[in-house]
Structure formats: structure tokens, C-alpha cells
Amino acid sequence: MDISPAKTIEWVGGSGGAARIIDQTLLPNDYKHLDINDVAAMWEAIKVLRVRGAPAIGIAAAFGLYLAVRDSEAADYSAFAAQVNEAAEYLASSRPTAVNLFWALRRIQKLVADNSSLPVPGIKALMLSEAIAMIDEDNAVCRAIGKNGAALLAARANQATCNILTHCNAGGLATAQWGTALAPVYVAAEQGRSIHVFADETRPLLQGARLTAWELQQAGIPVTLITDNMAATVMAQGKVDAVIVGADRVAANGDVANKIGTFGVAILAKEFGIPFYVAAPLSSIDMNLASGELIPIEQRKAEEVTQGFGRLTAPTGIQVYNPAFDVTPHRYITALITEKGVIRPPFDQTLMQLFQTQA
């Protein structure tokens, strides 16, 4: 099967161009691109989920940092670097949980610091080139995750069709193009394997229904949409061979922050003896945080729960608790699928070994 997901984010034009994204707030009803030309528009796009998913947010932030200083008239390096750092702090305030956002900003800031001897226009050019390079890197990383994950699926399938359950969207729409959790699905399909996906709708913003189901349908992958509270029944009926989800941040001990509801899916998978895999690039692993308890969890507006998509579904003035993510303890995770291979417990040891080899 020939699969080529749409490009979630790309740069169009030269130095005076724009970051072009798929506006994911409009899917699945409208498929439209949005060209972002300034840092405020990029901050808003990240905040309101026009662009979302940890890897895609990182690339978007890198472009946003370039856009913030593209028209800077700073004459010397010190003034320019101050503007870069101020813009990075601003972009970092858009969403707190996905570590890729901060990873990408730090990467561009380091690039600026390492090239302080260059004239300001030269540094600007390097910033844009680095952000564009992140797209090619992300595609290579996701393809590697896909190959590593597809090998796991080949070993796990107990029937002609391999049935995968996923939660939220960690497909191409969450990265530059190929996805993390869905990359193994795409690669397996390319290899001629029969793959079917159960997609949790993922309350309250329905990323599974609006994005994952749409994306898989566009790619020609058989997909069945279920509500979040159907996962236990589907597993109990023996219809799921493996669960694969993405990650917004992985702590050094293997705890994983992902879309709210992931923890419950992991508990169910353990109950029914189903492997629970987390697909994540190394850039989503935060070795500076000892455990998931230290991961900052974004709290979102009550209206997403009480009047999602414009219609009031709860009493006016009701108190709402709306965390965007939860943390799945490492004991529920069978393995992490990364671009460098499949990482298994004990994660506090295997992750440290992995990063020591990358140093």
C-alpha cells in the first residue's frame, strides 16, 4: 500500500515566507491550510490547538522564534539575542506539558549563542534553516519509529489482521507528517500487513474522532471509532492485539504524560493482558525529570467540557476540572518505541543507558 500522509507543517517561500499548517480545529469538516506570518499568530495556533502534538508543536515553536525576530532591527548581537530569548519565553508560555516545545526553543537559542560572531542577518538565516531541518529530521525519526513498531506488531498479531487500539491523535497530524503512534501502522500497511485500528474518540475535544479517524480514513487504513468508555468491552471481547499511544513527555523513570484518558486505557490493557506501547522520539524524553509526578499538567478552559463545539451540555456555572493530560506510571508500560529501538523495563536503567550512548 502506498501511503503518504499530508504535511502537517512546512515552510513556504524564502526568508520572507510563512509557516503553513493544517488548521486542525476545522477537521474533519474542513481541510484548510493556514499561513502564519508572525509570532503572535503562532502562539495562538499552538494555544488553541490549530497545530498540536508534541513533535509538531516543537517545529512550530522553532518557526515562531524565527518569525519573532525576522524583522528585528537590532544592530548588534547582544540586543538581538535578548530579543530571541524574550520571544522564546513568550512561546514557551503557550502550552506547558509537551517537552518538544521547550526542546526546540532551546535548540534555536543554542544555535544563536553558538554563532554570536556572525552578523545578525546571518544568524536569522541559520535560525530558519534549522527550523526547516527539524521537519526532515522529524520525518526520519517517525519513519524509524514506524519500522521498530511494525516489527513489534508482526510478532504480536494472533490472527490475519492485527488490531490496534489508540487514544487521542499521535499520527501524522501530531508531527511533521508520519506520526509516532500511527507510524507503525503506516509502515506495517506499506509492508502489506493487514492492519485495523480502534480509535478512541478522546473526550473532551474528540481528537480521536476528528483527527485520528479522519487521518486513517484518508490513508485507506481500516478504522473503527469507539467512545472512550467502550475500550474495556472491546478489549474483553478479544478484539485488540496491542495498544499504541504517543507521548507529550516521558520522565527518566519511564512515566508518560499523554492525553487525558491514557492512564485508564493502560490500566485496562494490563487487566486484559494486552501490551501497552508508547511511541515517542528521544526529543519527548525528559531525563531532567525523575518521575511523572514532576511533569506540569496543562489545565484547559471549562468551556471545552461544558459547551464543546458550541453547544451547552452542562448546567451553567457548574464547576469543571479539565486537565489536558494524565500521567501513566511506568509499571503499566510494556515498552517505549523510539527511533533508536524498542526500550523495555527497567526504564530508569534502560533510558539512562540509551542517552549515555547518544552523548
Q: Active-site residues: which are they?
A: 248
Is the torsion defined by CA of 252, 258, 260, 266 positive or negative?
negative
Is the torsion defined by CA of 128, 89, 112, 71 positive or negative?
positive
What DSSP line would sit under 165-199, residue for residue?
EE-S--SGGGSSSS-SSSHHHHHHHHTT-EEEEEE
d(Cα 215, Cα 34) in Å, to the nearest integer?
18
Per-residue HEC secondary structure of 71-93 comes to CCCCCCHHHHHHHHHHHHHHHHC
Contact assessment for residue 101 and residue 58, using Cβ atoms and an 8 Å cutoff = yes
Residue with cell 487525558: 260
Cβ atoms within 10 Å of 43's Cβ, excluding its own? 22
Q: Classify residue 220 as left (phi > 0), alpha (psi -120 to 50) or beta.
A: left
d(Cα 241, Cα 16) in Å, to the nearest integer?
48
By DSSP bridging, strand 33-36 and strand 18-22 are antiparallel
Name residue 10's beta-bridge partners: 20
* Cβ density class 192-225: b for 16+ within 10 Å, e for less: ebebbbbbbbbbbbbbbbbbbbbbbeebebebeb
d(Cα 168, Cα 89) in Å, to the nearest integer?
28
Length of the chain: 359
| Residue (of 99, 82, 259) closest to 166 by Cα position | 259
